[in-house]
A and B are shown apart, each in its own frame.
Chain A
Amino acid sequence: MPDGPTGEGVNIRFDKLGVVIAAIAAYAAFLAPFATFRANRIVPGQARSILEALPATAGPLLMAIVIVAALIALFRTPLMLRLAASVVALAALALLVGVAGTFLTPAGNTFARVSPASGFWILVFAFTLLLADVLTRLSLSPRDRVAVLVAAAVAIGLLLVSGAWNDLSILKEYANRADSFWAEGSKHVTLALGSLLAAVVVGLPLGILCHRVQRLRAGVLNVLNIIQTIPSIALFGLLIAPLGWVATHVPGAAALGIRGIGTAPAFVALFLYSLLPVVANTVVGLAGVPRAANDAARGMGMTDRQRLFGVEFPLAFPVILTGIRIVLVQNIGLATIAALIGGGGFGVFVFQGVGQTAMDLVLLGAVPTVALAFAAAIILDAVIEMTATKRRVETA
């Protein structure tokens, strides 16, 4: 039986997920607005459909691409064809939304704002769903997953550098704040990574201690659990006073950059939130080391220290890494809240945007945050899978 989309008559077979994707895409392409035009950055926008938002040839072209890709998704088609359809559709959407920006902005008008509207985002969602489904079904190796991520990042980077998106409002917001964007970005990354590093330096020994000393375990884990229940904005705020006191009363602390408001309380709060996953996963990882491995190591005459670093730690490593993955993704998200106490980070744009009801400014802060968290999750998942399979091969 032919497997193609044109299988004769009764042999046509639908793909269940494809039905959902095609329905979403049809709604987005025909009923939802593709782009929003606003005379300036905060007035309500006017919706534009695909055909209205694009030049005479590009509009029908995008329509055709969307329809063909949706049909490929709808029927049971070979995986590679589905992969090609999703990539082509996403690339066309990415390129043409920039074209819409240029087309809709009156020449020389610097106040007008064009932003992608719900139809664009829903189409991106639909074809990302298709792409995610194909990638899941291909069950890529960890290395290939990272390669796909790098390829996507390079493609987006090229689009940004080429200026294809320069007429979109989010990049106009960026152009007005290019310097502070990178400054806040590096603060965001420093906060997320620095507090993770501190949590690993403190949490690993603490976890090992909890594993060795039974009595300590319940107490430490309970305290860390309770810290997690304190809402982040409150914890950030509560640290202002003690750190302010340290800054004024401990000689040299202020010189180190410790202050009541700003980066220091944010750093400490993220550090406190990070401790639980690191300590708990270290304890769970060490507890999961097979007794036989420990007995064999003891039988070989290994000292406690040798056993810890030579046997227990390597075997527990994938579980500990899972804890680190949780912390990193969580920290990248939580670092946005630091902006509320003057700690900087991408949250600055999010909260400024919410305050000014300028959604493009919100996006300028939210999109890089989501991208960072997403990339961190994919990379660390790949690393975890690689170390876990390596151990399995070695111990087998």
Chain B
Amino acid sequence: MKAWLPLLLRLALVVLLVAFVTSPGWFEPLLKPLTENNAPVIYNQGSLLTLTLLHLRIVLIATVAATIVAVALAILVTRPAGAEFLPLSRSLVNIGQTFPPVAVLALAVPAVGFGEKPTLIALFLYGLLPIFENALTGLTTLPANVVEAARGAGMTGWQRLTKVELPLSAPIILGGIRLSVVISLATATIGSTVAAKTLGEVIIAGLLSNNLAFILQGGLIVAALAVLIYDGLSAIERYAARRMGREAE
């Protein structure tokens, strides 16, 4: 009985989330006590479903771009030709992580203007770091005997990379992507301070009009998305790790 309980909980969360973003009206009585002076209970300046999809789209685009760039960079600095860049890239990642997301967001505005673009840039830059770090860990901690065996079998550098090194590092790289997605989901809400269309809009509208129901619905949708996506990616990671015989982090 215990084995299917977590699965059931997740399914319930998915159903609840879908029900909430598609017909938020059903939940009005639940949130009603949180509002004062007959303020609207459900966000009324746009559909929650559209905002949720836009939110997910921004995170998806930023994460895909960040994954491609971060993995490519990690591959580059772990090849003999790029080895010179390895120590520097490590320090850059350390430095980069000290930049607060709000600062990145605000500083991107003068370069690209308000709206989705600064948010995409901030999410991309912020998402790079965990993926790059994990890809680096994955590619530099490969079991030496496997790499040697691949070389002994006469594989070219490209074959070793695509058939041995990348598949073996996949679980660790996926771990980085998972971290990056969860950070991005939360950071995207801050994007609404520079007029990006995300669920942050709902929260900020709540903050401005002192409407707790708005803050709660925006926050809970993002949190539920994060928990579900985190869970899903963890499952994929465990599957990849089992296939590769490596322990996921």
Contact = CB atoms under 8 A, between A and B. Distances in A.
Nearest to A342: B207
B226 A234 contact: no
Contact of A132 (B88, B97, B230): B88
Interface in B26-73: 34
B226 A229 contact: yes
A333 B101 contact: yes
Contact of A370 (B100, B189, B220): B100
A374 B227 CA distance: 30
A234 B88 contact: no
Interface stretch (B17-25, B166-174, B198-206): B198-206
A235 interface: yes
Nearest to B94: A377
Given A234-B219, A237-B206, A229 B106 contact: no
Contact of B189 (A135, A136, A233, A329): A233
Nearest to A133: B88
Contacts of B189: 231-234
Interface string B217-249: 011101100110010000000000000000000
A229 B223 contact: yes
Contact of A237 (B88, B194, B207, B223): B207
A135 B97 CA distance: 18
Given A232-B186, A237-B219, A241-B212, A366 B103 contact: yes
Question: Chain A interface: which size bin?
Answer: 35 or more
A276 B87 CA distance: 30
Interface stretch (A61-69, A155-163, A315-323, A349-357): A349-357
Contacts of A336: 100, 102-103
Nearest to A18: B84
B107 interface: yes
A334 interface: yes
A388 interface: no
A226 B227 contact: yes
Nearest to A367: B103
B84 A16 contact: yes
Given A230-B219, A232-B190, A370-B100, A363 B107 contact: yes
* Residue from A16, A135, A341, A366 whose CB has the most chain B CB atoms within 10 Å: A366
Contacts of B230: 229
B106 A350 contact: yes
With most chain A CB atoms within 10 A of its CB, the pick from B87, B88, B204, B212 is B88
Given A230-B219, A350-B106, A136 B98 contact: no
A366 B214 CA distance: 28
SS class of chain A's interface: helix, strand, loop or mixed?
Answer: helix
A334 B247 CA distance: 33
Contacts of A275: none
Contact of A362 (B107, B199, B226): B107
B50 to A, nearest CB: 18
Looking at A137, A233, A353, which has the most chain B CB atoms within 10 Å of its CB?
A233
A337 interface: yes
A229 B193 contact: no
Contacts of B194: 354
B91 interface: yes
Contact of A340 (B101, B107, B207, B223): B207
Given A136-B87, A136-B91, A230-B223, A332 B186 contact: no
A98 interface: no
A17 B101 CA distance: 27
A293 interface: no
B183 to A, nearest CB: 9
B159 to A, nearest CB: 25
A135 B220 CA distance: 45
A234 B100 contact: no
Nearest to A339: B102
Nearest to B229: A229
B191 to A, nearest CB: 10
B19 to A, nearest CB: 20
B195 to A, nearest CB: 9
A235 B219 contact: yes
Nearest to B226: A229
Contacts of B107: 362-363, 366
A354 B103 CA distance: 11
Given A229-B223, A230-B222, A16 B182 contact: no
A69 B104 CA distance: 29
B166 to A, nearest CB: 23
Interface in A197-253: 226, 228-235, 237-238, 240-241
A129 interface: yes
Interface of B: 34, 82, 84-85, 87-88, 90-92, 94-95, 97-103, 106-107, 109-111, 182, 185-186, 189-190, 193-194, 199-200, 203-204, 206-207, 212, 215-216, 218-220, 222-223, 226-227, 230
Pairs A-B, 9 closest by C-beta atoms: A234-B219, A333-B100, A229-B226, A237-B215, A366-B103, A231-B189, A231-B186, A373-B98, A359-B110
14 contacts: A132-B88, A229-B223, A231-B218, A237-B206, A238-B212, A238-B216, A238-B219, A333-B102, A336-B100, A336-B102, A350-B102, A370-B98, A373-B99, A377-B94
Given A237-B206, A374-B98, 9 more contacts: A17-B85, A232-B190, A237-B207, A332-B100, A333-B101, A350-B103, A362-B107, A369-B102, A369-B103
